[in-house]
Amino acid sequence: MTTPALTAAAGTDRMLLIETFVRIVEAGSLSAAAAQMGGTQPTVSRRLQLLERTFGVRLLQRSTHAIRLTEDGQRCYERAKELIATWQSFESEVRGAGDEPIGTLRVVAPHAFGQDQFVEPLARYLKQYPNMRVEWLLHDRMPDLIAENVDCAIRVGAVTDPSVIAVKLGEVPRIVIASPDLLHGAPVPQEPAELARLPWLALRTFYRTEVSLTHCTTGATERFGIQPRLSTDGLHALRKSAVLGLGVALGSAWAMQDDLAAGRLVHLAPEWRADALPVFLVYAPSRFQPARLRRFIEIMREHLPVELAESDRDRI
């Protein structure tokens, strides 16, 4: 016997109901899910109610301040994510290699990486797909992908937003460096205790008043406080300030290579490193992932900057 709920669901895109449920869970509220999907809260609420009637179970417990998955809802959520991923894979296979991207891709990248490391894979993308245009936007904050109409973002550091999909591209090793002038002819410091006595610069995005270093061989960890003479959120400003002898800095190894080779910087405590920073490509979940984004993700994963690819291989 066909129930009214099944009859109603038959006239509705069931994948849309499932995607809406997943989006509600990951966004944390009906209103946030509606904003991400470009709809209204009543529409999202109706889809959730229809899905619950179709399954005959309560999926979410809602209160004034929060939503919480029921036991049935938790099982449904895990299976729903698998179903959406399977559908996207199936859709890509059916469309095949002839799915030529056309249009404009909007990408947000960090200033330092966006000006250096990722320009080569970006060029590969544009050469391979001549009908594409790219808006390459450089800033270090995480954009609101939906509100700002951004297809994807490249992020350095942890991604904590549960409402986005994050594809790990690799990791960036970090080292301690300084100008030879800062040492005034003294031997290059080898231990963290020696570093703690020197003037410091801070990269506010990743460290401000404390530095943590791990020994490359033993795995021992040392922490010490710093009172930075200069704090900045720009990697290139940090590097330049270090070259000018303003203080010791902790930064991405790739950004320091040329200055180290030229003798403008020296590698301090070379047996010690900070934790490597993960690099992610982040995009909003969607049932229909456009070809322009799929192809861009493929290019980025296939043509990683050398430093990211090498650090990724070192982990395997």
Q: Write down the pTM of the prediction.
A: 0.64
In the chain, CATH 1.10.10.10 sits at 9-95
pLDDT-based confidence at residue 8 (cuts at 50, 70, 90): very low
Range(s) of the chain covered by CATH 3.40.190.10: 103-170+278-306
| Fold observed for domain 172-276 | D-Maltodextrin-Binding Protein; domain 2 (3.40.190)
d(CA 47, CA 151): 26
Three-state SS at 251 = strand
Residue range 114-148, pLDDT digits in tens:
888 899 999 999 999 999 999 999 988 888 887 78
Would residue 201 be called left, alpha or beta, if left means φ above 0 and alpha means ψ between -120 and 50 degrees?
Answer: beta
* CATH number of this structure's domain 9-95: 1.10.10.10
**103-170+278-306 homologous superfamily:** Periplasmic binding protein-like II (3.40.190.10)
- What are the pLDDT digits (tens) for 38-49? 789 999 999 999
Q: Does the pLDDT value for residue 304 go beyond 70? A: yes
